[in-house]
Amino acid sequence: MRETGFIGLGAVGGKLAGNLLDNDVALAVCDLDAAKVADFTARGARDGATPAALMQSCDVVITSLPSPAASEMVLAEMLPQMGPGKIWIEMSTTDPDLIVAQAARVAETGAQAVEAPVSGGCHRAATGNISIFAGGPRPAFELVLPLLTILGRQILHTGEVGTASRLKVMTNYLATANLLTLCEALTTMQAAGLDPATTFEAIRISSGTSFVHETESQLILSGSRDVDFTLDLVAKDVGLFQALAEAHGVPLELSPQILALIGDGQARLGENAQSDRMIERLEMATGLSVRADGFPQELIDDQPPVRGAEVILRR
């Protein structure tokens, strides 16, 4: 296999691409931010110039982009250079219907598309310990699995293209709901006289714990509140989940409330504010400062990096 192309060196993409470099994968990169490209070329990557040029020179091109619209723009540039033997791996969190239509257009050229959105936080993307949902034909999945096992620890083949994106927006919906309930729980306990650090440990060792608590609650209490995931992205992902439910006639009750809360957070804190700053809405309302000593300013993945593997389904 020749160089692997990577387009999109943002909060998640930059860490995924860096992980490939750290594992000696020959890499060519592309991003609208020239400084990010320069950083990667200084570390040994090649400047891929444009999406079209990358697709022309690489057998596999990975994208990690901020929105379905950005994904569509990049694909339009790459399509004329696609053909038999080419593979596009879309790692963005995108519209499930859009990726199905995009994959069909890719297939018309003789190339193959695999969707592979990630879950587990930016800190795990940097170490290769993140989880990956992969949707696409089984033969295409098996072709890219060696790359995916570098990028992630647990790789789940979810079925045909579109299945992974549906699952990804669902998990982001759940994470958002969990974050909002944690904001309410931490604030209420402090208002009731509980020490925030004690509250953190009580949740951690109880049935109320979760991945979101064990990561984002730490950044809330430290005052950092910089999980590297912004409210505009939260609104996009929960909105995609809401649209999926509506398309299938599921009358959700919590999801519209979550979207309303996120919208209020954007109005108060800024459209692109960090998502864990949502607790500040409650701090403003109560006059409390929900913080505690001893919590980190940034998340560090303390799991040792290991080669990933496919998750085998229970049958």
| Mean pLDDT of the region 188-210 | 98
The answer to whether 77 and 53 are in contact (CB under 8 A) is: no
pLDDT band, very low/low/confident/very high, at 223 (cuts 50, 70, 90) = very high
Measured CA to CA in angstroms, residue 245 lies from 92, 96, 249 at distances of 20, 12, 6
The answer to whether residues 142 and 176 belong to one domain is: no
Global pTM exceeds 0.75 = yes
Q: Give the dihedral sign, CA 30/31/33/38.
A: negative
Examine residue 293 and state whether it is found in any structural domain, yes or no: no
What is the extent of the structural domain holding 102?
4-160+303-310
Q: Looking at the chain, how many residues does it have? A: 315
Q: Report which residue type is found at 218.
A: Q
Q: Considering its fold, how many domains does the chain have in total?
A: 2
Examine residue 152 and state whether it is found in any structural domain, yes or no: yes
The answer to whether residues 151 and 191 belong to one domain is: no
The answer to whether residues 13 and 150 belong to one domain is: yes
Lowest mean pLDDT among 154-158, 200-204, 305-309: 305-309
Q: Where are the alpha helices (DSSP H) in the chain?
A: 13-22, 34-42, 51-57, 68-78, 96-108, 122-125, 138-151, 163-191, 196-204, 211-222, 231-247, 254-269, 279-286
Mean pLDDT, rounded, of the chain: 96
Q: Report which residue type is found at 243.
A: A
CATH code at position 267: 1.10.1040.10
The answer to whether residues 229 and 177 belong to one domain is: yes
The answer to whether residues 68 and 216 belong to one domain is: no
Residue 193 is predicted with a pLDDT of: 98
Residue 301 is predicted with a pLDDT of: 85
Residue 108 is predicted with a pLDDT of: 98
The answer to whether residues 155 and 179 belong to one domain is: no
Assess whether pLDDT exceeds 80 at residue 186. Answer: yes
Examine residue 224 and state whether it is found in any structural domain, yes or no: yes
Residue 60 is predicted with a pLDDT of: 97
d(CA 83, CA 108): 9
| Mean pLDDT of the region 12-29 | 95
Measured CA to CA in angstroms, residue 199 lies from 195, 221, 294, 297 at distances of 6, 11, 14, 19
Residue 64 is predicted with a pLDDT of: 97
Instruction: Tell me the pLDDT tens digit for each residue of 47-97.
Output: 999 999 999 999 999 999 999 999 999 999 999 999 999 999 999 999 999
d(CA 194, CA 213): 17
Residue 125 is predicted with a pLDDT of: 85
Instruction: Tell me the pLDDT tens digit for each residue of 268-303.
Output: 999 999 999 999 999 999 999 999 999 999 998 888
Assess whether pLDDT exceeds 60 at residue 1. Answer: no
The answer to whether 88 and 106 are in contact (CB under 8 A) is: yes
The answer to whether residues 132 and 237 belong to one domain is: no
Q: What is the dihedral of CA 96, 102, 104, 110, to 10 degrees?
A: -140
